[in-house]
Structure 1
Amino acid sequence: MDVFDQRLPQELSRNDRALTAISCLFLDIDHFKQVNDTYGHGVGDDVLCQVAQRIQTGLRTHDILARYGGEEFAVLLPDTSNDEAMMVAQRIIDAVNKDRIVIDKNVILTITISAGVSTLMTDDTMIDDTRSDSLNDIKSLGMKLLSTADEALYDAKKQGRNRAINAGLLALIDSVECSQKFQC
């Protein structure tokens, strides 16, 4: 998570300067507790490694993948529109579902994953004195991007798992105004 936490504000600043979108995926292995409870944490660790490899196959070299905790992963997609991020999320879901995970001849598992997607769009009308580039504002934007994707992930879980839910676009202007007025 340390690399992710470092890169998030850097990528937000870079995308803001370049006036491009940045997207976030929040991913969670469905019913992972059952894997640990049934087969033990060693098998759970193997499943995590194999799922992480499958997620990585759906990403570009400059995308940032991190284990966020337990069976959750966060992916930062610089220069990626909301529609493109949804395609990446579906590609990851398909990659995880495509083949069963083989631990040994006695443990062959079908694993699914759910995803939440959010995107931060910079607004080119913001290039003036109202733009705030402070580290606190950038961290606030990063947390909003992550939390919005996380909320969409929970919606995916509620709607039956093994799917991606799109939280949509976060407008930079709204987030900056929020942080300036209310210290979000």
Structure 2
Amino acid sequence: MIITGTIDQVQTRFYYRNDKKINYYEILVSYNFYNGVNQILLLAKDFDKRDLNDKEQLFVFEFDTATKFVNDRLTTDFYLQHYKPLPKKEGNLIVVRTYFEKDTFDVLGKQVVKGRTKVFARFTPKNKKENDLYCYFWEDNHFLVDLNKVTKIQLNCRSLPYKDKFISNIEVWRTMEKEDFIGSIL
């Protein structure tokens, strides 16, 4: 995915794998979308601290996501692939939209929340080089269609997590036939 935003904060972190210390950065990025400012925490191997000098500088961030479904919860990490500053003279348009072509659809589990049934599911991609797409939707959603018949899904970024909080809504997804909101991708 790609977003355009400013760098709010950078922190150095580390963890150990096989007795080897691995350093990485947590980069907190703010971006405007819909009617407000959202934030996303990107994990990066490298970062140039000179990019913190100008708080108004816009950057283009390209990142990948990794999602796991463990203990009936979806969790997602965002891995920064690369970023670059935008020239200040250009009028910048923020676009966070991508498409996913589905091969198969599997229901992973269901939860009843306040009398409604929340369905957790997985889409496998036609392109085997892409990652599986995990999602949730409500069974009583009046826009819901037969997901086995859907082949192409449009993803739109809506809100992203802040640091250590559990995420509940990263992207909204729609079928390509209609612009109806279906559910949330995690």
Task: Answer 1 or 2: higher relative contact order, Cα 8 Å, separation at least 6.
Answer: 1
Q: Which has the higher helix share?
A: 1
TM-score > 0.5, shorter chain as reference: no
What TM-score results when the alignment is normalised by the length of structure 1?
A: 0.24
What TM-score results when the alignment is normalised by the length of structure 2?
A: 0.24
Q: Which has the higher strand share?
A: 2
